[in-house]
Amino acid sequence: MHMIIGPGAVGTVLTAFLRHAGEPVRLRVREEDVQDLQGSSHVLVDRVRGRPPVRVAKPPMSTQTDFDGVETVFICVKHPDLPAVLDAFPADIPDTTTIVPCLNGVGAAQRIRQRFPGSHVAPLTVMFNAQLLEPLHARISTKPNVLINSDDKALLGLFGTSGLQVQRVHDEAAAWGKLLINLANGICALTDTTFHDVLANPDLRAVFVTLLDEATTVLDKSAARYHLPVGMPYQAYRKLLTHGGNGAWWLEKYRHGLTKSSYPSMVADLRAGRPTEIDELGGEIVRLGQLVGVPTPANARVVKMVHAAEAAPHPTPMSARDLRDALA
Ligand SMILES: NC(=O)c1ccc[n+]([C@@H]2O[C@H](COP(=O)([O-])OP(=O)(O)OC[C@H]3O[C@@H](n4cnc5c(N)ncnc54)[C@H](OP(=O)(O)O)[C@@H]3O)[C@@H](O)[C@H]2O)c1
């Protein structure tokens, strides 16, 4: 039995593909969400790229974090909710249970290992982009694939031939690479734009390059390896962003199947007045920069501006030019 904690966009997608692969799943939900979730009899994932949807029967739900007989625990909540999730864990995690944090960035696995030393933790990096349309109904706007940092063959094979591709990774390099690309999320949130806008608008591309220049300098100084999901070294990707017109967009479109309407959930979080994960993306770069003595003024400014927007009752999106000027 596998437990999915958090029936949001990622939790719904993983539930659907696991069930499609014939795996038994239990959804761990919050008391206050039970009523909303009871309305649907199935879990549905639409695929934007012309593939048929994945539709499976709704698995049993529980409001308890009980690891009895649970092989794998997929944590699919956002960072602000992680402490509450971990507070509900038993003090001793059974040796037969593997914890799979699916949150953005690299911080969640570190926090779990610190809090539950000796537990089996296998970080999963979500490479797809998904939105929740209604309870237990999500839409994927890219190819469905994930990376898992583990040698556990059973875990790596869980999704079988369901259509969700699993790639095995051996260190945090891919997670850092994904974090670098996710620095675009703060840009999208502040300007209320899509990934396409960031890669096609010259002002937003320039902002992205500024954030990436700082972040890669920090990672190089701290000797943290990173592997960009775009499949090329940073200097080549930088050239594409600065001199390649819309080339970076076409690369994303064909490599990951990104569509023009794909946007990071940080945009939706800000619109809905929810706290964002900016501290675990740009904030992670700022913290590491302080540790290794590399200044990160542009990333720090974006983190500060996103927090200011979180606190505003009705945040007004900035123009691309204004954001570029603010970071100049
Ligand atoms: N969506 C994507 O395309 C994508 C891509 C890459 C990485 N990620 C990462 O994946 C993580 C999850 O993102 P998401 O988009 O799936 O977020 P989401 O749609 O907001 O889903 C999170 C879900 O967790 C629920 N939840 C919160 N606390 C809980 C608790 N204590 N017990 C049970 N359920 C709880 C939330 O319920 P409420 O709605 O009631 O709060 C919500 O249903 C994030 O770190 C995100 O950055 C997402």
User: The whole model's pTM is what?
Assistant: 0.93
Ligand 1 mutation pick, 12, 261, 265, max ligand atoms within 8 A of CB: 265
180 and 86 inside one domain: no
3-state secondary structure 48-71: CCCCCCEEEECCCEECCCCCCCCC
Nearest alpha carbon, ligand 1 atom 26:
6
Amino acid at 59: P
Backbone torsions φ then ψ of 139, nearest 5 degrees = -130, 130
- How much of the chain, in percent, has pLDDT values that exceed 90? 88
Question: What are the pLDDT digits (tens) for 5-23?
Answer: 999 999 999 999 999 999 9
Q: Look at the alpha carbons of 94, 95, 99, 100 in this order and tell me if their dihedral is positive or negative.
A: negative
270 and 303 inside one domain: yes
Which helix (H) or strand (E) segment holds residue 210: the answer is helix 202-222
Rounded to 10 degrees, the C-alpha dihedral 159/162/163/165 comes to 10
- How much of the chain, in percent, has pLDDT values that exceed 70? 100
- Mean pLDDT, residues 208-230: 96
- Please give the tally of structural domains in the chain: 2
Last residue of one domain, picked from the residues 170, 186, 216 = 170
Question: What are the pLDDT digits (tens) for 88-124?
Answer: 999 899 999 999 999 999 999 999 999 999 999 999 9
127 and 249 inside one domain: no
154 and 216 inside one domain: no
Domain that holds residue 195: 175-327
**Ligand 1 in contact with 277 (CB < 6 A)?**
yes
Of 112 and 254, the structure prediction assigns the larger pLDDT to 112
Question: What are the pLDDT digits (tens) for 31-73?
Answer: 999 998 888 899 999 987 678 899 999 999 999 999 999 999 9
Distance 79 CA to ligand 1 centre (A): 8
57 and 97 inside one domain: yes
17 and 155 inside one domain: yes
pLDDT value of residue 259? 83
- Mean pLDDT, residues 155-161: 96
Cβ atoms of 29 and 7 closer than 8 Å: yes
Looking up residue 298, the CATH number of its domain turns out to be 1.10.1040.10
Show the CA angle centred on residue 135, arms to residues 155 and 22, nearest 5°: 30
154 and 242 inside one domain: no
Please report which confidence band the pLDDT of residue 208 belongs to, taking 50, 70 and 90 as the band edges.
very high
9 and 152 inside one domain: yes
Please report which confidence band the pLDDT of residue 252 belongs to, taking 50, 70 and 90 as the band edges.
confident
pLDDT at 253 over 80: yes
Backbone torsions φ then ψ of 321, nearest 5 degrees = -65, -45
Cβ atoms of 134 and 46 closer than 8 Å: no
pLDDT value of residue 143? 85
**What's the chain's average pLDDT?**
94
d(CA 117, CA 121): 10
Cβ atoms of 193 and 204 closer than 8 Å: yes
**Ligand 1 in contact with 61 (CB < 6 A)?**
no
Cβ atoms of 240 and 231 closer than 8 Å: no
**Ligand 1 in contact with 145 (CB < 6 A)?**
no
pLDDT at 298 over 80: yes
Strand, helix or coil for residue 218: helix
pLDDT value of residue 256? 79
- Mean pLDDT, residues 122-140: 94
58 and 191 inside one domain: no
Distance 328 CA to ligand 1 centre (A): 33
Looking up residue 115, the CATH number of its domain turns out to be 3.40.50.720
Distance 91 CA to ligand 1 centre (A): 23
Please report which confidence band the pLDDT of residue 258 belongs to, taking 50, 70 and 90 as the band edges.
confident
**Ligand 1 in contact with 258 (CB < 6 A)?**
no
pLDDT value of residue 255? 83
Nearest alpha carbon, ligand 1 atom 4:
129
Last residue of one domain, picked from the residues 137, 170, 203 = 170
**Ligand 1 in contact with 140 (CB < 6 A)?**
no
154 and 196 inside one domain: no
Which atom number of ligand 1 is nearest to the Cα of residue 130?
Answer: 3
- For residue 86, give both structure tokens: 């971990």
Residue with tokens 């966009």: 9
Distance 10 CA to ligand 1 centre (A): 6
- Mean pLDDT, residues 117-132: 94
155 and 12 inside one domain: yes
3-state secondary structure 228-274: CCCCCCHHHHHHHHHHCCCHHHHHHHHHHCCCCCCCCHHHHHHHCCC
Nearest alpha carbon, ligand 1 atom 42:
8
Last residue of one domain, picked from the residues 170, 196, 224 = 170
108 and 193 inside one domain: no
pLDDT value of residue 39? 85
pLDDT value of residue 160? 94
**Ligand 1 in contact with 141 (CB < 6 A)?**
no
